[in-house]
Chains A and B, each alone.
Chain A
Amino acid sequence: MAYDKDIKELVKLRLMSTTPSNIKISIGGFGEFNRDQLIEEIEKGTSVGNAAIRMELTFIRKMASISRRISEEG
């Protein structure tokens, strides 16, 4: 799946602001990536980049329901 440029830019900015440089994220069998490597994968439009975008979009999309679940479950 190809994401458009605006989505890619949004995800790259969010990765820069929320992902520390001293962690690595492993995405299934693709391997481990730090923040800068993930940004590079997003720019290249690879499967890893797409998985990183899907993670970020899931987070944005689910924020409302997360808040609701948290308040319901105390």
Chain B
Amino acid sequence: MYEWSVPVMNAAEKRGIKVDRVDGQRVIKKEIVSRIEKLKPGFIFLNGHGDSKTFYGYDNEVAIGITDANIFKNKIVFTRVCNCVKKLGKKAVEKHSCTSFIGYEFEFVNVRQTNVELKLREDEISRPIWEVSNTVPISLIKGTTVTEAVESSHKKATKEISRLLFSKELGSISVLKAILTNDEGLKYHGDGSAKFFY
């Protein structure tokens, strides 16, 4: 999953936005909280595993639990984390003044081919799944509102679905279903007119 967050970080850096990556063994609660307190980012992108109340970090330890929702105060958050928007996102917005919290209501679905050994970003069949998802943070980086970013992702999903519906590519219908399921689960809480300023 991390591999597909690289294009988002590249898009940010291209616009002169300072990106602070927290990856691998550093994805632990102490590190995340201290960085957010110190650097005060306007936008946070979480990418990994979770459930409706929790984002899990290194070694499947709780990195951000529902009792930590206050760290999202005055921030726009995008989570590519299963179910997180449901409770963690809702609480962050309703109880802790998080500006907007965008994420997926269901399990995030991906498809990959197994007949050849490929690195994640080299697998062309999964590319549209990640690109549809990445449309949200990349749109925000480009200056759209939260609503526009989510709508851009829906439009990109429609475009890919229409292509895949008539495609003869390996697993095209499975990829289509993954995009459709992810797209249906893409939701946000909070201010849809908010923009990320840097």
Report A-chain residues with C-beta under 8 Å of the C-beta of B171: 19-20, 23
Q: How far is the CA of A19 from the CA of B176 in the complex (A)?
A: 11
A58-B89 Cα distance, complex, nearest whole Å: 24
Query: CB distance B50 to A58 under 8 Å?
Result: no
Contact of B158 among A29, A32, A73 (CB under 8 A): A73
Known: A20-B170, A58-B177. A25 touches B158 (CB 8 A): no
For B181, give its contact among A22, A24, A26, A58 (CB under 8 Å).
Answer: A58
Q: B180 and A58: CB pair below 8 A?
A: yes
Contact residues, A37-70 vs B (CB, 8 A) = 51, 54-56, 58-59, 62, 66, 69-70
Q: Is the interface of A mostly helix, strand, loop or mixed?
A: helix
A residues within 8 A CB of B25?
A: none
- Size of the B side of the interface (Cβ < 8 Å), in residues, is 33
Contact residue among A18, A20, A55 (Cβ-Cβ distance under 8 Å from B178): A55
A13 part of interface (Cβ distance < 8 Å): no
Contacts between chains A and B (CB distance < 8 A), count: 86
Contacting pair A26 B110 (CB below 8 A): yes
Q: Are B174 and A23 in contact (CB under 8 A)?
A: yes
* A16 at the B interface (CB under 8 A): no
A25 interface neighbour in B49, B50, B109, B155, Cβ under 8 Å: B109
Binding site for B on A (CB under 8 A): 18-20, 22-30, 32, 34, 51, 54-56, 58-59, 62, 66, 69-70, 73
> Which residues of B come within 8 Å of A, CB atoms?
49-51, 56, 82-83, 106-115, 125, 155, 158-159, 161-162, 165, 170-171, 173-174, 176-178, 180-181, 184
Known contacts A59-B176, A66-B158, A73-B162, then 15 further A-B pairs from the complex at CB < 8 Å, ordered by chain A residue: A19-B174, A22-B170, A23-B114, A24-B111, A26-B112, A28-B49, A28-B83, A28-B109, A30-B107, A34-B114, A54-B106, A54-B181, A66-B161, A66-B180, A73-B155
